[in-house]
A = this chain, B = another copy of it.
Amino acid sequence: MNKLRMGMVGGGPNAFIGAIHRAAAALDGEIELCCGAFSRDAQQSRVFGESLGLAPDRVYDDYQSLFEKEANLPVEKRMQFVSIVTPNNMHYPIADAALTSGFNVLCDKPATLTLDECQALARRTEQTNLVFGLTHTYTGYAMVKEARQRIMNGELGTIRKVITEYHQGWLAAQVFDGNNKQAAWRLDPAQAGQSCCMGDIGVHAANLAEYVTGLRISAVLADLGRVEPGRVLDDDGTVLLRFEGETRGVLLASQISLGEENCLRIRAYGDSGSLEWHQEEPNTLLLKRGDQPTQILRAGHSYLSAPAQAVARTPPGHPEGYIEAFANIYRDFACMVSQQQGKGVDTTNPEHSPERQQISDLPGIAEALRGMAFIEQVVASDAAGCQWRSIEC
């Protein structure tokens, strides 16, 4: 087996998410970081790339050089995909350049700054016939996959109510805005787009709701807050939801919920059962029924569905976490890229079995479009004084 060769744009020093991407990519021994442009400061990029053990000639000054020079390398040496981990405003130009240069793309969400950009990106993706993956990380957890399967299998009956929540507290204090590099770009419309809270985490909660239920959000009514004085973008919000088929829902998101860490949760209520999952205790899924004891489903068990079992690296009781969920996204992406490149993967490795490839459900350009439409309509609904807005895409 040859490892898949990855490049990276962004993710330099102090960018925690870059280190997580690299760990997730490395975890299963199937992907190798071979090049990158890690910082807008070329010198910083070089120093950092070398600290990662990269060959100096594979560390580039900027993403343009990266794509140009990698494209000129022999095919067996050249990177096979690029991971984009920059602030939001750079996602689109970089992704577009990558695709244009012939490289598959794994991109942080939201995919672009606007829905228009995203539609352009979708067209580009279609033209190039390359793989575009979007890191809706939370769909990588085994028990999220189990939740989705239980609903797809009909165990909960018709879903009638969905509550999805994502609470954080890290933007609760104004003081963060200046001191914190993360906070600075997330709260700046030029870098983050039209929304902070909904664009950063609300869109994850919306994606999780759609992924788990298999239902698409058809309309939103949003009430967004700029709780800390002086902010232009939202730092808190609630969105009433309608899903196709009249399923009702609510999405709560906040970055000013002091004391909350990364509290992403989903509850889905059907007419024959319900389920509940919390990201902070990710290896557990509660399955509820009206007239029977609640069941605690736990990762790693043989009673789980094939997709949940397929991503298990450890036996029950040996917790897997966020990096493993992220690694599942990378693994699915790697499978798709390998298939795309006509070489397949080594099927003597059970982790690359056809069974595993079949159940890939990587978020891609469709989810990117839906995410951008969600953000735009949520912002529009709030701006219109809490009016219902349809989501069509």
Contact = CB atoms under 8 A, between A and B. Distances in A.
Contacts of A160: 227, 236, 256
A258 B238 contact: no
Oligomer: number of copies:
4
Contacts of A289: 258-259
A73 B22 CA distance: 30
Contacts of A283: 280, 321
A83 interface: no
A53 B346 CA distance: 10
A259 to B, nearest CB: 2
Nearest to A261: B317
Q: Is the interface of A mostly helix, strand, loop or mixed?
A: loop
A20 B291 contact: no
A300 B323 CA distance: 14
A314 interface: yes
Interface residues of A, number: 93
Nearest to A47: B348
Given A47-B348, A227-B248, A274-B260, A303 B292 contact: yes
The 3 closest A-B pairs by CB, nearest first: A259-B288, A261-B317, A262-B317
22 contacts: A19-B313, A23-B28, A161-B254, A161-B256, A163-B252, A221-B223, A238-B248, A250-B250, A258-B269, A258-B270, A258-B273, A258-B274, A260-B274, A281-B281, A293-B295, A293-B303, A294-B296, A295-B296, A314-B322, A314-B323, A323-B323, A385-B388
